[in-house]
Amino acid sequence: MAINGIKPGTQDEIIQFISSFALYGFPESHSASFALLAYASGYLKCYYLAAFTAAMLNNQPMGFYSPAVLVRDAQRHGLKVKPIDILKSGCRCTLEREGSDIVVRLGLNYVRGLRQGTATAIIARRQMRPFQSLGKSKLHFRSMNLECHEKIGGTCVYSRIASRNIAAL
């Protein structure tokens, strides 16, 4: 700065201004980035609630809100969230069309203790041949132990198959 003819007192002032801005600059840029994320999230939640909710559920754990809180909030805003269903659920939460509405279907990843490999096997077997009954579905999953069947059954994912079996009686 001296080479450019800037006096020592002015140099000190410039360095003070730069130092002060450096201390303020990071929080300012950080807050601008956060504001952009908050705005984008708010926009998506307002105009694309089903897709936003499915994405939030599929990216858990995030540390802010539990899946139950996200689902209840989405339901308060008018979104229908369908339960896990062994006949329809993917590994992760998906979007389904129900009339003119788009709804969220909870994924098999929300069956506590169910491994990713088992969920993938369920979906692969289901695509080969739809499940007809509880007994037949158990035959499809020889790799699944009794505990896995209890976990899946405890979540009511078998409900559509079971109700079909009861109606047949």
Q: Would the pLDDT of 149 be above 70?
A: no
- pLDDT tens-digit profile of 98-143? 999 999 999 988 888 888 888 888 888 888 877 665 555 443 444 4
The answer for residues whose C-beta is within 8 angstroms of residue 50's C-beta and 6 or more apart is: 74, 79, 95, 102, 103, 104
Name the residue with higher pLDDT: 104 or 156: 104
Looking at residue 152, its amino acid is I
Domain count, the chain: 2
**DSSP, res 114:** -
Domain encompassing residue 6: 1-47
Q: Would the pLDDT of 85 be above 80?
A: yes
Distance between CA atoms of 38 and 147, rounded to whole angstroms?
Answer: 42
Looking at residue 157, its amino acid is V
Distance between CA atoms of 112 and 119, rounded to whole angstroms?
Answer: 11
Looking at residue 49, its amino acid is L
What is the arithmetic mean of pLDDT over 23-44? Answer: 81
Q: Read off the CATH number of the domain in which 116 is found.
A: 1.10.150
Looking at residue 134, its amino acid is L
Residues 53 and 39 in one domain: no
How high is the pLDDT of residue 2?
A: 76
How high is the pLDDT of residue 16?
A: 82
